[in-house]
Amino acid sequence: MASINTNASAMTALQTLNTISKNMATTQSRISTGLRVAEASDNAAYWSIATTMKSDNKANSVVQDAMGLGAGKVDTAYTAMNDAIGVVDQIKEKVLLAKSASSEDRAKIQSEITALQSHLSDSIGSASYAGQNLLKTDSTSTTDTKLSVISSYNRSAAGAVTTGTIDVTYNATRLIDTNVAAAGILDKGGTASGASILTIDVVALTQDDGSTAVTGATESAQFDNMLTDIETALSDMATGAASLGAAKSRIDLQKEFVSKLSDAIERGVGQLVDADMNEESARLSALQVQQQLGVQALSIANSNSQNILSLFR
C-alpha cells in the first residue's frame, strides 16, 4: 500500500542510518582515545578492574622512587665503608711497622697515622646522602635505629594494604657515634669495647682501653693490644660492609622485579581496555560505506512519495 502519511521505508532507512551513525561515533571514539573501555558505561567490570590495577601501578611507581632513594643512601655508605676499611688497613700496617721502629721513626709514622685518622673522620662525616649518614649515627636513639626502604606495595583481596621493607640496622654500620658515649666501631672506648682507632698513638703507646701505657705492661704487649683492636674493628667493618652489600643487592633485585611487575600490570590492563586499532580501522571503513548506503536508501525511500504524484497527472 502506498501512503503519503506514513513512509515505512523512510522510517526503516532512518533507524538504520541512526544505528550506523551511533556505531561510527563509538568507533571514532575508540580510534581517537585508543581505548575500547574508556568509561564505566563501556564495560563496568573491565573498567573497575583496570582502574584498580592502574592505581596499584601508581603505587609501584612510588615504590620504585623510594627504592631509588634508598639505593643512593646504601650505595654511598657502602662506598665510604670500603674506603674506611682500606684506610684502617693502612693504619694497621703503620702500627705494625712502628712496633720495631726507633722513637724518631715512630714520630714520623704517627704523623702518617694521624693523617689517616683525619681522613677517616672527614670521609665518614661526608658519606651523607639526602641528609642521612648510615656510618655516623646516634647509639642512644630509640626511634632512629635503622634505615627502612619501602620495597613493595601489597593489597589483599579484602583491600588491606601492607608494605614490605628492606632494613639496614645502624648497629652494624655505625663507625662513629654522634653521641658523647662513643659506641661506634672506630671510636669505641672502654676495656670491654676496645680502643678508639681514631686516637691510636704509637708514640704515647695508647693502651687498648684508651688510657696511656699501664705500669708493668710491656711495650710489645701494648702494640699487640693496638693491633688486636684494629683487627676487631676490621672484622666489625667487614660485617657492616656485608650488611650494606646485601641490602644493596636486594634493592637492585627488587627494583628490577617491581619494574617488570609494573610492565606486566600495564600489559594486563591494556588487554582489558585497549582498542584493537586494526579492527577499529576496518570497522570504520565498513561503517562509512554503510552510512553512504543508508543515506542513499533514505533518499530512495523519500522519493517514493513523489512517485504518487505521477498517478494524478
Domains of the chain by start residue, with CATH: 39-276 (1.20.1330.10)
Are residues 25 and 17 in contact, defined by beta-carbon separation less than 8 angstroms? Answer: no
Give the confidence band of 59 by pLDDT, cuts at 50, 70, 90: very high
Closest CA to 187 of 145, 224, 233, 234: 233
229-259 pLDDT per residue, tens: 899 899 999 999 999 999 999 999 999 999 9
CA–CA dist 125, 140 (Å, integer): 18
The predicted model gives 68-77 an average pLDDT of: 95
The predicted model gives 31-55 an average pLDDT of: 88
Residues in the chain: 313
The predicted model gives 78-90 an average pLDDT of: 96
CA–CA dist 207, 190 (Å, integer): 10
Whether pLDDT at 206 is above 70: no
